[in-house]
Structure 1
Amino acid sequence: MHLKGRLPSFAQTDAPVTGAQVRAEPADLERAGLNRVADDVGYPVGLQKAEARLGI
């Protein structure tokens, strides 16, 4: 799944975000290396790294 235009960048465009995109994002971030439990201590660094890997 291509993630351009998804959170957080969707707020800067007129492109609508579908419910399927919103539901898929957590799994996409985890596949990109985000560990929501372990990264909680270092938030938002882990999230930012996973988003960078996905180009969002």
Structure 2
Amino acid sequence: VGMAKGDAESNSVDSNTKQLMASKIKTASRHLVDQASDFLSSCHDYKKQSNISINLNNS
């Protein structure tokens, strides 16, 4: 009976740890997605600016 109780306790700790890890991973991946979209939008802005300067040089 003592063993079973110990197993149940360790299982609850495991599930808590897994939930904590999952939330940390979700938060981290959300940050990565935000950073990636910021990077892409800045690249897009840069491309627009460079296109404008090229067009000015051509005319």
Indicate whether the TM-score tops 0.5: no
TM bracket (short chain) = under 0.3
**Bigger helix fraction:** 2
Question: Higher RCO, 1 or 2 (CA under 8 Å, sep at least 6)?
Answer: 1
Q: State the TM-score, normalized to the length of structure 2.
A: 0.24
Q: Output the TM-score relative to the length of structure 1.
A: 0.25
Larger radius of gyration between Structure 1 and Structure 2: 2
